[in-house]
Structure 1
């Protein structure tokens, strides 16, 4: 950290609609690039589910603590002009776009961010303020050297709580050692009802005679389709397609 040039939380920064659109566009492009890389490598010819937003937020928190060439590398990958832009986007997402609306009858949404840092390496006050205010993150100073497994259990308990019990052991035994210095965690929980449940009723499910080719070389016909007369939007990218409904 540079004490003469501390970073500020995004709540103290002014933002415009143009800024937000650009930040969201950049974040989307980063997610698409990560998706393309995964589909071309370790998830080639397989199904996958992951959260590009979670990766983006965690990398942004890491970037907020970097300077010099290290920071330049993060900003280049995240397609951002500055750390302030990354912090402002995170603040906008956590306080507006991804705010839980369940109390108002909306979907249950929980975007949880956590940072566990070794107490032997104190964090700069301005960095702690950004982590807590811009990212609404849980920040804990722990002793990895004395009891790393205790920290592992603490992280697992936090993730289990944030995901309503769906993820119970994100860190396996021996994943945390006395050489660990920081753990960055993100949990995204979403639960909601379908806007129009009738589409899932049997009268709206029809079998079509289209032929599907499976990865093992077989083919199949008569696949049941959920039908709808609504408008849907699709865009093709290099190696994959995205459907918006």
Structure 2
């Protein structure tokens, strides 16, 4: 069949539009046939072979470690056990940082120790993620997942979505925060639970998402590893554990039947041992201070590097308590207090995300860990919740610097109770 001239013009126009959309990485709202969930289509997918120099990778890791120790020093004041994933928090905030501009971006970079420029930072995170997950095997499982959840119909900048798609594998899923925030909250929590094998539930509590919410950025990490040198369950027995106040409790304590060749070091006021996992370069570093509170208060990224550098292979017998707990953290006030307050204020500049003004309303984190004779299971998730700012016009100045009339009235009825004028305020 031969097409007429008009038909050929229409066909050519359609082809041009399709090519332009593909070139620009254009997106549009659609509905997933199986789930009925709104999501963003995009021609862009994750870059699985990012070109990142070893120098950039090392700089990113050093910065993340510095942030981890900074955050630890701030949150250690809470009572009892403490456990969190600084990597999960850094990842979620790195996605948020991709849309930050001006002083908001500057403050975030300083607090998070993001020293690389944006065009090198996000590929470095991508390369690090891929390198970590490449070690997965029968004895080692690490899953890192990112997702972004946006208000259906809200206009997000294409450049922002491209950065997240290319470097974090984060697709934009549509939810109706405006009309059904509770349903949206449940959906995000269900995704987090799925990604963490059910270990992190109810990350976002009721009320944290409301009708002003426009974007939620989430990261979830699941870790499951087998000890290189497993503890024998037959040797696990009650052992004494001395608390900070000097009192003692009895807890199930694991032990090896004989010494194992593992890395160990000791220095002024501490001993440290590294427990390796099987089929991976991951390991658990345990530091045992003589004076816990004194050591904890002075632990920095630099000192941690020195401890790790001094580890040497020695014959070591390890006795270690079994433990299992989860720990929630609301980091909203914590991060603001650390120096990125603008991101949480109505002066926040996230214009790299969208034209409409957005600010961070909440940063929520929850982590779980279980250590037993076989190995370690751990999970963590972070949610950064963005909402519309209450943008106010510049204030109007009214100066009573000339004669004026005034009255006192009842605002509900309009009745004028008093009235007068001021010609000379001095009397």
TM bracket, shorter-chain basis? 0.7 to 0.9
Q: How far apart, in 2, do the equivalents of 1:222 and 1:167 lie?
A: 25
What residue number does 2:118 align with? 83
| Larger relative helix fraction | 1
What residue number does 2:71 align with? 34
What residue number does 1:189 align with? 222
Unaligned 5+ runs, structure 1: 1-7
What residue number does 1:3 align with? none
What residue number does 1:108 align with? 141
Q: Deviations over 1:101-130 (max 9, x none)?
A: 24xx34122111121122343111121111
TM-score norm. by structure 2 comes to 0.47
1:96 is aligned, of 131, 138, 160, to 131
2:255 is aligned, of 219, 226, 242, to 226
What residue number does 1:239 align with? 297
Instruction: Please tell me whether Structure 1 or Structure 2 has the larger radius of gyration of its CA atoms.
Output: 2
Q: How far apart, in 1, do the equivalents of 2:175 and 2:223 lie?
A: 29
Offset at residue 89 of structure 1 (A): 2.4
| 1:3-18 alignment runs, 5 A limit | 11=47, 14-18=51-55
**CA separation of 1:222/1:172 partners in 2, compared to 1, >3 Å: closer, same or farther?**
closer
Q: How far apart, in 2, do the equivalents of 1:30 and 1:10 lie?
A: 26
What residue number does 2:185 align with? 152
Q: How far apart, in 2, do the equivalents of 1:127 and 1:116 lie?
A: 13
**CA separation of 1:220/1:240 partners in 2, compared to 1, >3 Å: closer, same or farther?**
farther
Check whether the contact 2:149–2:215 (CA below 8 A) recurs between aligned residues. Answer: yes
Pair 1:164-2:197 in alignment: yes
Unaligned 5+ runs, structure 2: 1-43, 266-271, 273-286, 290-294, 312-427
Offset at residue 185 of structure 1 (A): 1.5
3-state SS of 2:213 partner: coil
Q: How far apart, in 2, do the equivalents of 1:23 and 1:78 lie?
A: 10
| Larger relative strand fraction | 2
Q: Deviations over 1:113-148 (max 9, x none)?
A: 121122343111121111122012242132211221
**CA separation of 1:193/1:225 partners in 2, compared to 1, >3 Å: closer, same or farther?**
closer
Check whether the contact 2:64–2:90 (CA below 8 A) recurs between aligned residues. Answer: yes
3-state SS of 2:226 partner: coil
Query: How many residues are paired up?
Result: 229
TM-score norm. by structure 1 comes to 0.78
Select between 46-55 and 235-244 the one with higher mean Cα deviation. Answer: 235-244
Q: How far apart, in 2, do the equivalents of 1:9 and 1:87 lie?
A: 14
State the superposition RMSD in angstroms.
3.3
